Amino acid sequence: MSQDVIGKSAQDLAQANMQDYATESASFSWDKARELLDGLPGGKLNIAYEAVDRHVNNGGGDKTAFRLIAKDESTTDISYRDLMHLTNRFANALQSLGVEKGDRVYSLLGRVPQLYIAVLGTLKAGCVFSPLFSAFGPEPVKARLEIGGGNVLVTTRLLYKRKVAPIRDQLPELKRILLIDGEDADQDLLDLAKLMDAASEDFEVVATDPEDLALLHFTSGTTGKPKGAMHVHQAVVAHHYTGRTALDLHPDDVFWCTADPGWVTGTSYGIIAPLTNCVTMIIDEAEFDAERWYRILANHKVNVWYTAPTAIRMLMKAGGDLAKKEDLSNLRFMASVGEPLNPEAVLWSVDVLGKPFHDNWWQTETGGIMIANYACMDVKPGSMGKPMPGIEAGIVERTENGAQEVTKPMALGELALRPGWPSMMRGYLHEEERYKKAFSNGWYLSGDLAMRDSDGYFWFVGRSDDVIKSAGHLIGPFEVESALIEHEAVAEAAVIGVPDETAGEIVKAFVALKPGFTADEDLRLSIVGHARKRLGPAVAPKEIVFRDNLPKTRSGKIMRRLLKARELGLPEGDISTLESDEK
């Protein structure tokens, strides 16, 4: 564990929305958080109204809601007023087709404007939205449409032809296909632009109940078959508040969340939280490219940046010099989510970007950020930070009598949360038993293992399934991987346990190298030597193999279970979300 602490300056504090963590936590209530939003008459609440219309009604219509950067780097700005009219048209178009409140609207689109319009227009119409990642093949698309009972799909001609047409006859509930490039569409395929042109730009937002279903998000599939988590309109209270405190969003900020809306981060923090906080957000249509990313940060004067450990490690691999070519002085706050953020990555960001990345933790199930490093709080590299005000987190043990909290500092246990926050999932779709099993003695059990130190900071250890039991030690893969990537040659590492007669399991590491290093025996010995020095022989990997790439989900998470299944010659299980692959 890293001993460094990155302190915050008076200047950091002067700008922070939350000035003091303890004071804010003591005075917090969800009712007060809800007052930061406008709501609709009669106690109703609609995410899209809070994200768009209320700013126009409050005089902010001219402000840019988002700036789209196309693949060729040309830009299109859409103001809050334009967004209100476009989403109204979309909602009217749905109603003109007979789509009703509660119907399920899906998207299968890249990061194009219509995706954002569809999400918000659907919510305005009181329908439920579920975004699909555009790189999914026909099977994952089918599975998710089937589980959620999708009635409408917004997509492109090409994606429809490749991924939906072959399975269409197996999806009887899928009644309407709206094509964003659907000029002269056939009778069954509708031209979205034409429908929207014909629709009015005025629409009365459907007055949804705070408990009405709004979003259906599938988990990343890192540990198994993806689950469909159901979220309701009042999740927006948590989106807004966490955006304001954990991401420190201010109304004049330019904010860039690099996650694709095909995943919960790209919706909660790539659409809803930034818009409710009235910022200008950046949407980049293209995929990761280190030079392009630094250019975007500089040219568009991004102030707040939310990204993921995989991307940060790729930036580290590309070398800090690239960052130094650009003027990144507008960056004020940087955060990361999705996987454990290695301490090395935080130290790197301080060195190269002049500021630390602030790690935060949450899940598809929690709908919003639960544990975070805040602008006003010192950062301990490698720690996820402290629970959001309003969130009680604990370390628990599963016993015969259910979950029991362990309060001793640095005790290892399962990370658990007291349910009751607005963005908590209301269920796994069609998996009632599984949902029930996630709760015990008033705790929601996350499936992740962690520790809490005496200052109240939480430290991620690994997913329960990934923890290694070797010669009486419980070894968390994160600690070992973090030590490995400290080695100058290592870009990425994934660690698993493989069965061993004497030790029970031994630690095996898969390592991808930075450019310019050769995978040979000398290097292997040097990495093993470094790991032994850092971790001791009991915890250091016994075996290291080199790989060009590590298998990851499309949301950028290393799939250790797949490395393990392959290692042991077991079935690979559900790999519908697998991105990079090499056997």
- HSE-CB for 580 with a 13 A CA cutoff: 12
Of 79, 220, 349, 482, the residue at the interface with ligand ATP (CB under 6 A) is 220
Select from ligand ATP, Mg ion, none the partner in contact with residue 253, using the beta carbon and a kind-dependent cut-off of 5 to 8 Å.
Answer: none
DSSP, collapsed to helix, strand or coil, labels residue 437 as helix
Q: Return d(Cα 467, Cα 445) in angstroms, integer.
A: 16
Select from Mg ion, ligand ATP, none the partner in contact with residue 339, using the beta carbon and a kind-dependent cut-off of 5 to 8 Å.
Answer: ligand ATP
In the complex, the smallest distance separating the C-beta of residue 447 from Mg ion, rounded to whole angstroms, is: 6
In the complex, the smallest distance separating the C-beta of residue 557 from ligand ATP, rounded to whole angstroms, is: 5
Q: Binding to ligand ATP by residue 481, rule CB under 6 A?
A: no
Which of the stretches 7-15, 114-122, 296-304, 360-368 binds ligand ATP when contact is defined by CB under 6 A? Answer: 360-368
Of residues 330 and 464, the one with the C-beta less far from Mg ion: 464
Select from Mg ion, ligand ATP, none the partner in contact with residue 258, using the beta carbon and a kind-dependent cut-off of 5 to 8 Å.
Answer: none
Q: Binding to ligand ATP by residue 359, rule CB under 6 A?
A: yes
Of 361, 421, 444, 510, the residue at the interface with ligand ATP (CB under 6 A) is 361
Of 131, 226, 243, 343, the residue at the interface with ligand ATP (CB under 6 A) is 226
- x/- mask, ligand ATP, residues 174-213, rule CB under 6 A, reads ----------------------------------------
Paired sense of beta strands 189-191 and 176-179, if any: parallel
DSSP assignment of 15-72 equals: H-S-S-HHHHHHH--HHHHHTTS--BGGGB--HHIIIIIHHHHTT-TTSEEEEEE-TT
Burial class of residue 179, CB neighbours in 10 A (0-12, 13-18, 19+): buried
Instruction: Let me know: does 448 contact 415? Beta carbons within 8 Å.
Output: yes
Of 448, 479, 481, 492, the residue at the interface with ligand ATP (CB under 6 A) is 448
- x/- mask, ligand ATP, residues 60-99, rule CB under 6 A, reads ----------------------------------------
In the complex, the smallest distance separating the C-beta of residue 308 from ligand ATP, rounded to whole angstroms, is: 9
In the complex, the smallest distance separating the C-beta of residue 135 from Mg ion, rounded to whole angstroms, is: 20
In the complex, the smallest distance separating the C-beta of residue 232 from ligand ATP, rounded to whole angstroms, is: 17
| Residue 574 in tokens | 């559900």
In the complex, the smallest distance separating the C-beta of residue 161 from ligand ATP, rounded to whole angstroms, is: 29
Instruction: Let me know: does 264 contact 369? Beta carbons within 8 Å.
Output: no
Q: What is the rounded (10 degree) CA torsion for 99, 103, 104, 105? A: 20
Q: Return the number of other C-beta atoms located less than 10 Å from residue 317's C-beta.
A: 15
Of residues 156 and 222, the one with the C-beta less far from ligand ATP: 222
- Look at residues 536, 535, 538, 552 and name the one whose alpha carbon lies nearest to residue 494: 552
Letter string b/e over residues 455-476, b meaning 16 or more CB atoms within 10 A of that residue's CB: eebbbbbbbeebbbebeeeebb
In the complex, the smallest distance separating the C-beta of residue 337 from ligand ATP, rounded to whole angstroms, is: 5
- List of residues contacting Mg ion (CB under 5 A): 219
Burial class of residue 553, CB neighbours in 10 A (0-12, 13-18, 19+): buried
Distances from the Cα of 1 to the Cαs of 288, 383, 387, 493, in angstroms?
A: 30, 9, 20, 17
Q: What angle do CA 528, 531, 534 make, to 5 degrees?
A: 150
Distances from the Cα of 118 to the Cαs of 105, 112, 146, 267, 566, in angstroms?
A: 9, 10, 20, 12, 40
Of residues 284 and 339, the one with the C-beta less far from ligand ATP: 339
DSSP, collapsed to helix, strand or coil, labels residue 555 as coil
Q: Binding to ligand ATP by residue 258, rule CB under 6 A?
A: no
Site residue total, ligand ATP (CB under 6 A)? 24
Burial class of residue 52, CB neighbours in 10 A (0-12, 13-18, 19+): buried
Helix (H) or strand (E) holding 357: strand 357-361
Helix (H) or strand (E) holding 372: strand 371-372
Of residues 81 and 463, the one with the C-beta less far from ligand ATP: 463
Select from Mg ion, ligand ATP, none the partner in contact with residue 338, using the beta carbon and a kind-dependent cut-off of 5 to 8 Å.
Answer: ligand ATP
Considering only residues 512 through 571, tell me which ones interact with ligand ATP, judged by CB under 6 A.
555, 557
Of residues 34 and 463, the one with the C-beta less far from ligand ATP: 463
- x/- mask, ligand ATP, residues 322-341, rule CB under 6 A, reads ---------------xxxx-
Burial class of residue 220, CB neighbours in 10 A (0-12, 13-18, 19+): buried
In the complex, the smallest distance separating the C-beta of residue 526 from ligand ATP, rounded to whole angstroms, is: 28
Select from Mg ion, ligand ATP, none the partner in contact with residue 414, using the beta carbon and a kind-dependent cut-off of 5 to 8 Å.
Answer: none
List residues bridging with 504 in a β-sheet: 500
Which of the stretches 30-38, 275-283, 295-303, 359-367 binds ligand ATP when contact is defined by CB under 6 A? Answer: 359-367
List residues bridging with 395 in a β-sheet: 415
DSSP, collapsed to helix, strand or coil, labels residue 582 as coil
Q: At what angle do helices 290-299 and 309-318 cross, to 10 degrees?
A: 100
Of 145, 377, 384, 491, the residue at the interface with ligand ATP (CB under 6 A) is 384
Of residues 338 and 390, the one with the C-beta less far from Mg ion: 338
Paired sense of beta strands 104-109 and 128-133, if any: parallel
Select from Mg ion, ligand ATP, none the partner in contact with residue 246, using the beta carbon and a kind-dependent cut-off of 5 to 8 Å.
Answer: none
Select from Mg ion, ligand ATP, none the partner in contact with residue 460, using the beta carbon and a kind-dependent cut-off of 5 to 8 Å.
Answer: ligand ATP
Of 219, 245, 267, 277, the residue at the interface with ligand ATP (CB under 6 A) is 219
Of residues 349 and 440, the one with the C-beta less far from Mg ion: 440
Q: Which residues bind ligand ATP (CB under 6 A)?
A: 219-224, 226-227, 337-340, 359-361, 363-364, 384, 446, 448, 460, 463, 555, 557
